[in-house]
Structure 1
Amino acid sequence: MNFITCPRCGRECYRLFDSVCRDCFFETFKLIELPHVLHARICPACGAHLHRSRWENIGSIEDVVLKAVENALFIHNEAGDVEIYMEPREITPYIYRVRAEVDALVREEPVHAEAETEVRIQRTACDMCSRESGRYFEAIIQIRAAGRFPTEGEKSRCMAIAREAMESMKKKGDRLAFISETLEQKEGLDLYMGSMNASRQVCRLITSELGGSFSESPTLVGMKDGRNLYRITFSMRLPEFRPGDVIRFRGKIIQIKSSGKKVNGISLENGSRFISTPEELKGAEKIGNIKDAVLTVLVSIEDSAILVLDPETYETVAIKKPMSLNAEAGSEIPVLKTSYGIFALTQSEIPQAK
């Protein structure tokens, strides 16, 4: 093997690296560079980390610290087969020391380098939390019900759906997916929403589960960078009729079983199944609710009719016999008295007979 004399140090070597021996070359070669001090900004409210001018949720404080070091760590572009090891050490809740070790191949030679840095944590409210605390909003969802006031149960469920949707959309990257304010009105709820797109998704989810419909109404509130800025009011109307309501529709007496995009019910006259939509039921008349049912005496049973005592006058009246009647003469059965007559119910159809 022919040896070559290094022109810098005079030692013999079998190969030159940029006209010098290996040792001389790697004396000045910087495999890695790392600043002595780094800063990481973390939101104290939600834990988001400011990364390249964007707030991101990337995990624990240690994850944020390691991410900051990883982004600042410079590795020479000649390095190949790079392996990085980083060890964070907490000095205080606001200061971490991180040691970075790198192994790589440079011009087919194995190289090892180490560096240490200090990461200082700066706690600053992120854009989302700043806006949320400042009650920023892009849209208002007005939750109402057609021809009535929403029940407490409906309002609670709407709020639960909205919160679940906000959590889901935050995970998908919509940092404005929050409810900045909730106002309870006599006629319903007003939700002030940080994200217009999230608001639209909430409306879709509520109408999908509870039925009803919603409309959008934009309002111009200003300009930014030459573009008009709008706030959207989402007007939501829950269905007029709820499960348990008894309605008169096209001459039929219907007990509502479920209400959503489709309204399902049963005829109290012949037991037949009923399917419609909230839109088709506009104009139907609510004549009662099964919670208004009372117990009365079943006097006798005929082929297609039964005799019962009127729960108010105690007179014997004949009414249609329910298909699922399972009672004997002399017992008590639940009935619902309306302006269109008395209708017999089965015990299972009412939450509790009065």
Structure 2
Amino acid sequence: MTDAGSSFCPECGDPVDSVGGDGATRREQSLCDSCYFAAFDLVDAPDTIEVMVCARCGAVHRGNRWVDIGADDYVDVAVAETTEALGVHLEAEDVDWEVRPEKLDDNTVRMHATFTGVVRDTHRTEQVAVTVKVSRQTCQRCGRIAGESYASTVQVRAVGRDPTSEETDRAAELAHRIVADMEATGDREAFVTEIGDAESGTDIKLSTTKIGLKLARKLVEEFGGDFEDHETLITEDDDGNEVYRVTYAVRLPEFVPGDVVDIAADDGGPVLVQSNHGNLKGVRVTTGEPYEASFEDGDSPDARKLGAVADATEATVVTVEDDAAIQILDPDTYEAQTVARPDYVDPDASTVPALKSRAGLHVLPDA
């Protein structure tokens, strides 16, 4: 006869608490601790794991896709894959584990793992060894990069001039930044295929049309101008769908900040360009008054370039004659000349930056 509140273990017949213990089924719950632990595995682990790793970028093939796991070497890959493959018993609590990798050769790592946990108020420890075999492959992305695959080209050009080194360098920087942002979201199709000099500008080949469109829009947003896109049919895919490459032709404005221009049919004096987004904006170098091109003229008013801030030289101030005139020494002849005094000129300045052009001698703002 058993005490009230007790029953028998169905496996060995020993009395057990009728409340029962842990277990996934009623039979497991009715087992005594000895019989329960006799068939208990704290950890479910495979003997061997085979993993494909891209030899170029370190991505791991899981299921039907490649996954970037940020591993520095194959040992890190083995740790990550072992972690994915191991299963800990659902009844275990306060589980902790540590792993010791043993590199057997360049392609094989044996993972020695020790697990601890609490089951049925009993501290349990279990050790497992998993052999991870690594095979080197090339992922689809790296294959496309090696094959110089691209879906779009951004042509960076400018109206009436070549793009500046600042503009082309910035275009390359933006391309890499857009790709990095897309990679950070898990997009493995994003990459810069090639950046190369072209006649009157630079060409940037990109892996997708989405990146090309983003770059074209960003360049226009930052530098002004506009762009057009043109599709070219290159092939058909396996399903018979037409595959196109897209060229985004970016045209930057003719005038850039720092240029000094003479506006046609305008007698207000030359303009120092300060911005050219949407429409040209600047300041008159004769008076210091602001200038803004009309909506119709936009960023390309009828004008000619006289020079740039970089072309200016320091000229000695002889005297400030009045609010509208200042006398300075000609930077070339050193003869005293009276020129227009814009309101940005400091009356106490001993020298001023001056630009000499076909339109005469003009004082520019200090840099």
TM-score scaled by structure 1? 0.80
Unaligned runs of 5+ in 2: 21-26
Would the aligned equivalents of 1:207 and 1:261 in 2 still touch at CA under 8 Å? no
Pick which of 251-260 and 277-286 moved more.
277-286
| 1:271 equivalenced with 2:284 (yes/no) | no
In the alignment, the residues of structure 1 paired with residue 319 and residue 36 of structure 2 have an alpha-carbon distance, to the nearest angstrom, of 111
In the alignment, the residues of structure 2 paired with residue 27 and residue 334 of structure 1 have an alpha-carbon distance, to the nearest angstrom, of 92
Matches within 5 A, 1:105-254: 112-224=125-237, 225-249=239-263, 250-251=265-266, 252=268, 253-254=270-271
Give the alignment partner of residue 363 of structure 2, picking from 336, 345, 351.
345
Give the alignment partner of residue 100 of structure 1, picking from 107, 113, 130.
113
| 1:85 equivalenced with 2:97 (yes/no) | yes
Q: 3-state DSSP class of the match of 1:90?
A: strand
Shift of 1:136: 0.9
Pick which of 214-223 and 179-188 moved more.
214-223
Shift of 1:155: 1.5
Deviations 1:102-124 (A, max 9, x none): 45566787655432201122232
| 1:46 equivalenced with 2:66 (yes/no) | no
Would the aligned equivalents of 2:153 and 2:246 in 1 still touch at CA under 8 Å? yes
Unaligned runs of 5+ in 1: 350-354
In the alignment, the residues of structure 2 paired with residue 285 and residue 209 of structure 1 have an alpha-carbon distance, to the nearest angstrom, of 22
AA at the equivalent of 1:53: N
2:23 corresponds in structure 1 to none
Pick which of 4-13 and 170-179 moved more.
4-13
1:323 corresponds in structure 2 to 343
Q: 3-state DSSP class of the match of 1:206?
A: helix
AA at the equivalent of 2:274: K
Would the aligned equivalents of 1:296 and 1:334 in 2 still touch at CA under 8 Å? yes
Number of residue pairs matched by the alignment: 346
| Cα pair distance change 1:234/1:88, threshold 3 Å | farther
| Cα pair distance change 1:260/1:6, threshold 3 Å | same
In the alignment, the residues of structure 2 paired with residue 221 and residue 346 of structure 1 have an alpha-carbon distance, to the nearest angstrom, of 52
Would the aligned equivalents of 2:259 and 2:273 in 1 still touch at CA under 8 Å? yes
| Cα pair distance change 1:244/1:135, threshold 3 Å | same
AA at the equivalent of 1:39: E
